[in-house]
Amino acid sequence: MTEHSISNSEIKDLVSQGLEAASAAATSAALQDVRVAYLGKSGRLAAHPYFQTIKDANPEQKKIIGADRTAATTALNAAIDARKAELEVAELNARLASEFTDVTLPATPALRGSIHPITQVTEELIAIFADFGFSVAEGPEIEDDFHNFSALNIPESHPARQMHDTFYLKGDGKEPFPVLRTHTSPVQVRTMVSQKPPIRIIAPGTTYRSDSDMTHTPMFHQIEGLVIEKNVHMGHLKGLLHDALAAFFGLEKLPMRFRASFFPFTEPSAEVDIGCKRGKDALVIGEGSDWLEVAGCGMVHPNVLKNCGLDPTEWQGFAFGCGIERLAMLKYNIPDLRTMFAGDVRWLKHYGFNALDIPSLIKGVAA
C-alpha cells in the first residue's frame, strides 16, 4: 500500500501534535492518556469538524476524507505503540533495578541458615547419577500394600515382611492398611507401571520404620536406583555402583565387593561393601582391610517385572538401595545418627553446608 499523505492541514497539525505528545509521554499511564485524547471514541480526531463533513461529501471527497482518517489513525497508533514498547522496557529495567537483591551478601549471623547434611548428600548423589543419565523419580510417603510390599514380591505373611518394622495407618478401616513407606523401593513399582522402558531412575526420599536405637531412627532416608533395559547384568550394576560411590567419596578407585544376600525383589541379590580402615579416631574410606556395608542391590526379580506389567523374557534390570544417613555419616564424619534429627542449631552450624554451594560434578562433590 502506498502511503497516503494527509490532505487536510488541520489534521496534519493534529497528527503532529499527537506524535509529539506520544514521544513526550514519560510513563505508560501518560501515554494511555494521549491515546484516549487523540484516538478515543470522542477524542480529538473523531471530534474534528473535518471528519464530520464526510456525511455530506460527494463520493470523491468521501474517499479522500476516509483516506485522511486512516492515515492519521495509522500514524498515531504506530507512534504510540512504538513509544509504549520503549516505556515498557524502561519501566521493567527500573523495576528490576529497584527490586534487585544481592543474594550473595552475607546474612546477619543470627539469620544464617545452612543445608542439612542429608539434603547435601541427596543433592550430591543426584548430581552424580544425573551424569550417568539417571532422572529423579518420586512417590508418596503414605503407600499402599501393593506398592510397598506385594508388587515387590513380598506377599502377605511372607517372612520378609518382618524385615520391615512397618508403621500402619488406619486408612478407611479395611485391610490391607496403608503404610508409611518402609523403603524407597515402591518408587520402582510406580515407575515401571507408569513409564515405558528403558528406564534409568533414582528415587531419593524419606522412609519410616518403627525402630529407634543408636543406629536407627523411625524416620530416615534412602536412595533407590532402577535400570530396566534389554541387556543389562550384574557387571553393569557393579561398575555403576563403583563409579558412583568412588565419585561420592572423591576417590579414583574404591575397593568394593558384592556379598551374596537376599531381597525378595531381586534375584540374585547382593550387599555392597566398601573398603575402609578403622583407625583409632577416624574411619578412612578406600584404604585398609576392613569392610563396610553401604547398599543392597540385585537383578530385578522376574515376579516384580511381571507385577509391573513387563515381560521378563523381554526386559531385565537391576536395582539398588542405600541409606542416605549412613553415607552422610561416613563422608562427613558424623559419629551419632540421632543428632541428625535433634534440630540443634549448634550441630547444624558445625555440620551444615552453605546454601549457595550447590553440589555439582564440575566443582567436585567430594569437597
User: Which residues in this chain contact ligand DAH in the complex, by CB under 6 A?
Assistant: 183, 185, 224, 263, 266, 296-298, 319-321
C-alpha grid cell for residue 148?
A: 510397598
Rounded to the nearest 5°, which phi and psi values hold at 42?
-115, 35
Cβ closer to ligand DAH: 11 or 300?
A: 300
Look-up: residue for cell 540374585? 268
CB of 346: closest distance to ligand DAH in angstroms? 32
CB of 296: closest distance to ligand DAH in angstroms? 3
Cβ closer to ligand DAH: 34 or 203?
A: 203
Cβ closer to ligand DAH: 266 or 307?
A: 266
CB of 319: closest distance to ligand DAH in angstroms? 3
Cβ closer to ligand DAH: 79 or 330?
A: 330
CB of 300: closest distance to ligand DAH in angstroms? 8
Cβ closer to ligand DAH: 189 or 276?
A: 189
Rounded to the nearest 5°, which phi and psi values hold at 247?
-65, -40
CB of 123: closest distance to ligand DAH in angstroms? 21
Cβ closer to ligand DAH: 123 or 224?
A: 224
CB of 187: closest distance to ligand DAH in angstroms? 10
Spatial separation of the C-alpha atoms in residues 223 and 266, rounded to whole Å: 16
Rounded to the nearest 5°, which phi and psi values hold at 239?
-60, -45
Is the previous residue joined to 359 through a cis bond, with omega within 30 degrees of 0? no
Cβ closer to ligand DAH: 31 or 202?
A: 202
- Cβ-closest position to ligand DAH: 321
Cβ closer to ligand DAH: 65 or 154?
A: 154
Furthest C-alpha separation in the chain: 109
CB of 103: closest distance to ligand DAH in angstroms? 38
CB of 345: closest distance to ligand DAH in angstroms? 31
